[in-house]
Amino acid sequence: KRFTSRLLHEGHDLLFHPSQAAEAARKSLLAGKALAHVLALPSDNPSVLRGELQQKKLVALSDPIELALLKRLGKQLGCTINDVVMAVLAGALGRTLRREQELHSAAELRAVVPVDLRGGKVSELGNKFGLVFLTLPVGEPSPEERLKRVHQTMSELKCSAEAVVTFELLSTVGALPAEVEKPIIQWFGSKATVVVTNLPGPREALFMAGSRIDSVMYWVPQSGQLAVGISVMSYAGEMRLGVTTDASVYSSPQTMVDDFMAALEEMQTLEVS
């Protein structure tokens, strides 16, 4: 009903505003291309980071990382902070898989990344988000080449309608009976290895009852066979990385955090003094 109502409303707008037809056609083309891409994605490569989930979860949290460092790296290397973080994460996951002897130079894995679709100031709470599938070059040994590839992929995703398409798909799936919904959600989960969320927090420090809140963090829920959730949050000029794992699949989230810090140090070697 909601979908039909939206179609009628948009059709009315196009009828009385023909100049919008070209833009609507462009958006439809982008949506069709994004839908075809999502449906054609093969299952992600099997690894020690995927498996059947149990009840026990483990978490690890990084030390604070100065946002100024990430901004400086991004500016000097012609990328965004998100590009830098994702490229460092690719290096960290590569280190993790190499330790498990599950890595080769051409190896890639996908991260499913939630994208907020609300836009602007939001007056109501809710979860209006879509998903994009980001390919991470975890087997690439060069930090510079990793960053270039991540930057290119991120730029392509920003120009696509993938997040909007997956939002509509998940909204539709959510209205289906549980016995139909579950295999579809599992199908979505098979397309990636990790979930990565990036949440910008308050730029200034917050206080409660006169005491400064030193840090803020959240943890990524898990579903399907996605046993690793990675949360990135900025707060008061710093960023922290959190890792959640299912204990029965991968029991060393702290090692993954350590790998991230090591990969960040490696990325800093590209910085021009």
Query: What is the pLDDT, as a whole number, of residue 41?
Result: 82
Q: pTM for this one?
A: 0.83
What pLDDT score does 22 carry? 46
Cα distance between residue 7 and residue 120, in whole Å: 24
Does residue 241 contact residue 259 with C-beta atoms inside 8 Å? no
Closest Cα to residue 195, out of 170, 220, 172? 220
Four-residue CA torsion sign, 64, 68, 69, 74: positive
| pLDDT for the residue 21 | 46
Position 34, amino acid:
A
List of long-range contacts for 224-227, beta carbons under 8 Å, 24+ apart? 224/53, 224/185, 224/186, 224/188, 224/189, 224/190, 225/50, 225/51, 225/52, 225/53, 225/186, 225/189, 225/190, 226/50, 226/112, 226/189, 226/192, 226/193, 226/194, 226/195, 227/49, 227/50, 227/51, 227/53
Structure confidence at residue 204 (pLDDT): 95
The DSSP 8-state label assigned to residue 44 in this structure reads P
Phi-psi region of 119 (alpha: psi -120 to 50; beta: other; left: phi over 0): left
Determine the residue type at 25: A
Q: Domain 54-268 is classified in which CATH homologous superfamily?
A: Nonribosomal peptide synthetase, condensation domain (3.30.559.30)
CA distances (Å), 140 to each of 50, 71, 83, 106, in order? 21, 23, 15, 7
pLDDT mean values, one per 10 residues, the chain (273 residues): 48 50 53 72 88 93 96 93 97 94 80 82 71 92 95 88 80 81 82 93 94 94 90 96 96 97 94 67
Specify the pLDDT at position 232: 97
**Can you give the length of the chain in residues?**
273
Residue 34 gets the label, from left (phi > 0), alpha (psi -120 to 50) or beta, of alpha
Q: How far apart are CA 218 and CA 231, in angstroms?
A: 7
Return the structure tokens found at 200: 């910008």
Q: What is the pLDDT of residue 178?
A: 82
The pLDDT assigned to 231 comes to 97
Q: What is the pLDDT of residue 246?
A: 96
* CA separation for the pair 9, 122 (Å, rounded): 23
